[in-house]
Every structure is written in C-alpha cells, then in structure tokens.
Amino acid sequence: MKAKFGLYLLTAGLLGSAASAQVVFSNNFETNTAGFTAGGSISSLGRVTLPTDSVGPGSVHTSTWLGKIGDGVAKSGVSPEIAQLNLTGLVSGTTYLVNFDLLIGASWDGAASGYGPDSWRLTANGNILVDTIFANGAQGINFGAYSPQRYTDLNYTNPNGPDVARFTGADQFWSANQDGNYANDYSIYYFGHGAGNPVLSFVSTGSTAVLAFSRYGSSPDSPDEYWALDNVSVVGPSGHDSHRA
C-alpha cells in the first residue's frame, strides 16, 4: 500500500501553509520513472517492490520504489551511481522543498576502512543538501571491521563524523544478523516528513534545476549494495506550474 508523504512538512517559515503550496514535481513510482535519468555507473533506472516497515523482506506493507539502484553494479570507487531529476517551470530566487524516502539496502559498510566509506549525496545545481555515510552492519554482529555510520537526523551534510551506530536516525530498519548474509538487510530514512527528520530546501537560480541523488565511495566494494527512492516531491509557493508523474 502506497503512503503519500510528500507534503507533510510545509512549514510556515519556509513556504507558508500547506494549502498555499504548489507541487512542482511528484512521483511515487507506481506507474513510471518519469523525471529521472540514470548517470555515472548506472545505465538505466527501473522500479521494484520493497518493504515500507521493519518487518523484513516478507512484509505485506510494500511500495513501488525507484531501484534497486546499484544492485549488481561493481563499486569502482571512481564512478558514482546517479539518479538525476531535471526540474522545469521554476521561478528564480524562490525556495523549494525536496521530500523523499531513501532505502539503503544490503551490506553498506559505513566508514569502514578498506570496504568503505559507503557514502550518499544529494545536490541541487551542485549545491550539497545531503552528504553522509550509511551502515547496515556492525562490528562483532555481522561485520568483522569497525563500520560506523555518520548519518543522524542532525548530522547529514558532514561525512567526517561523528561515528554513530548503524541505523541511527532510520525510520524503519531490518537486519537478519546471521551467517554474514546481508542481501535482505535494509534501512529507510525520511526526508521532509516525520517528526525530527531533516527538511531540505534550495533556492532556484533560474527556471530549471538539476537534483542529483547519488551513491559514491572511495574504494572498490561489493556489488550487492543498493539504494532506492520513493515519494519524491518538490514543492514551491502557490501558482507555480505542476509537473507530476
């Protein structure tokens, strides 16, 4: 069942009331991947059914996500995995909110030396909105190496620290914690909705903008690691053009 989250945090300090806000882009990926193009080491984008809760891969609560981005793709440490969103119909000098759900899947190694760092970034016209490191494993549980996460709800633009435990700030997560099998492990993070989660915004410099959602790292890594997006929306003041998928 699809949950619609995109407009939950339209705060008065940014865009005014929800009633006066305008969705300039929205895609929940139930029918298509419109608006997004692949880049970097990713040749194409698709859709996949994944859980939306902490029950695990057998959950009955699922959604159609943009993904599994990077699944089966070699991590060279050179070329990032990019899902790019090209926006049109914007008004220069206007503030826009970016809302989305992010699923981090399989054996993300956090800031582990040699295997990591496993980093993720969102930019708007090259300006960083999110730049952080995620981990789905922990030393002595299902990883042999120290693999700290860097993401928290308060620290999401600095990949250099502090070290925190895996799943910190996750709204949903599940781990098998057995036999080194990470294929079904995942964590889900909400941006732009949910109590205490980051609210992201950018100021347009023209009628168009490019949002680049990307996974990157500094060393070769396991091709099983993937990520996925859901409920992506970009929201501006009332009266703007609407480009929905």
Per-residue confidence band for 14, with pLDDT thresholds at 50, 70 and 90: low
Residues 26, 6 contacting (CB under 8 angstroms): yes
Domain contains 16: no
| pLDDT over threshold 50, residue 7 | no
Residue 134 lies in a domain: yes
Decide if pLDDT at 139 tops 60: yes
Does 6 fall in a domain?
Answer: no
Structure tokens, 55: 């029950």
Size (the chain), residues: 245
pLDDT at 11: 41
Residue 31 lies in a domain: yes
What number is the average pLDDT over the span 71-87?
Answer: 92
Mean pLDDT, the chain, integer: 88
**CATH number of the CATH domain containing 110:** 2.60.120
Say whether pLDDT at 8 is over 60.
no
State yes or no: pLDDT of 32 exceeds 50: yes
3 part of a folded domain: no
User: What is the full DSSP assignment across 111-179?
Assistant: T-TTT--EEEEEEETTEEEEEEE-BS--BTTTBSS---B---SS--S-TT---B-TTTT-SEEE---ST
Q: Would you say residue 139 lies in a domain?
A: yes
Which pLDDT score, from 0 to 100, does residue 5 have? 42
CB 163 within 8 A of CB 132: no
User: Residue 80 pLDDT more than 90?
Assistant: yes
Residues 140-161 have pLDDT tens digits of 888 889 999 999 999 999 999 8
The closest of 242, 16, 205 to 93, measured between CA atoms, is 205
List the domain range (segments joined by +) for residue 36: 21-237
Q: What is the pLDDT of residue 228?
A: 98
Q: How many domains does the chain have?
A: 1
Q: Do the domain assignments include residue 45?
A: yes
φ, ψ (nearest 5 deg) of residue 20: -100, 0
The proportion of the chain whose per-residue pLDDT surpasses 70, expressed as a percent, equals: 87
Report the Cα 172 to chain-centroid distance in Å. Answer: 13
| pLDDT computed for residue 108 by the predictor | 94
34: in domain:
yes
> 18-27, 55-64, 202-211: lowest mean pLDDT where?
18-27
